[in-house]
Structure 1
Amino acid sequence: MILPIMSRELNITLQNMEVYHMATIEKIQDDILSLSDSEKLRLSKWLSELEARVWDQEIVDDFSQGGRANALLERVKSDYAAGKCSRWE
């Protein structure tokens, strides 16, 4: 009987965290709207650069040992070595 009580308490805690998270996001959105146009542009550029860095890291992670795309990369290398495909010029 302890497990359902713990589960309910955990669910309530997670719901509270979600409400807090949404309140935080809404606060950030309100703060962004209060920025000057030049500050919004600066923030937009920063977010774009951040997104590019995150994307680059995802690519590195995907093609690293054990990454999601590593098996595909190994197959391409194998096919190339076997002469099944050629270099793009």
Structure 2
Amino acid sequence: MVQWDGLENKTTVVIYGGGAVVAVWLSSIVVGAINSVPLLPKVMELVGLGYTGWFVYRYLLFKSSRKELAEDIDSLKKKIAGTE
């Protein structure tokens, strides 16, 4: 509870936490609705497999593309941390 006491904006943290819970709840409703449509789950599986295949071909097969992916990830980390 020491971290909680050190927070300046407790209401913002509570609002973001509540928003995250609502987002997870809504996404579970959407996934349940998609699963209830007979053909749609199989189409979504095909889309996922296609994207996975593309990602492997684009970023993981060759050394130069793996290096590019690592650089992109490092750049994203710097943007998130605010050190760029």
Cα separation, 1, equivalents of 2:69 and 2:45:
34
Q: Please give the root-mean-square deviation of Cα atoms over the aligned residues, in Å.
A: 2.9
Alpha-carbon distance change, 19 to 57 in structure 1, aligned in 2, over 3 angstroms: farther
Cα separation, 2, equivalents of 1:42 and 1:17:
30
Amino-acid identity (%): 5
Question: Structure 2: which amino acid aligns with 1:9?
Answer: T
The structure richer in helix per residue is 2
Alignment-derived partner of residue 25 in structure 1 = 27
User: Per the alignment, in what secondary structure is the counterpart of residue 71 of structure 2?
Assistant: coil
Cα separation, 2, equivalents of 1:22 and 1:65:
29
Q: Does 1:64 align with 2:68?
A: yes
Q: How many residues align?
A: 63
Q: Give the Å deviation of 1:22.
A: 0.8
Instruction: Structure 1: state its 5+ residue gaps.
Output: 69-89
Cα separation, 2, equivalents of 1:32 and 1:65:
32
Cα separation, 1, equivalents of 2:22 and 2:49:
26
Cα separation, 2, equivalents of 1:40 and 1:66:
32
Runs of 4+ in 1 over 6 A off after TM superposition: none
Question: Structure 2: which amino acid aligns with 1:27?
Answer: I
Q: Give the Å deviation of 1:58.
A: 5.0
Q: Larger Cα Rg: Structure 1 or Structure 2?
A: 1
TM-score (normalised: structure 1): 0.50
TM-score (normalised: structure 2): 0.52
Alignment-derived partner of residue 36 in structure 2 = 34
Matches within 5 A, 1:1-89: 4-6=7-9, 8-36=10-38, 38-56=39-57, 59=60, 60=65, 62-64=66-68, 67=71
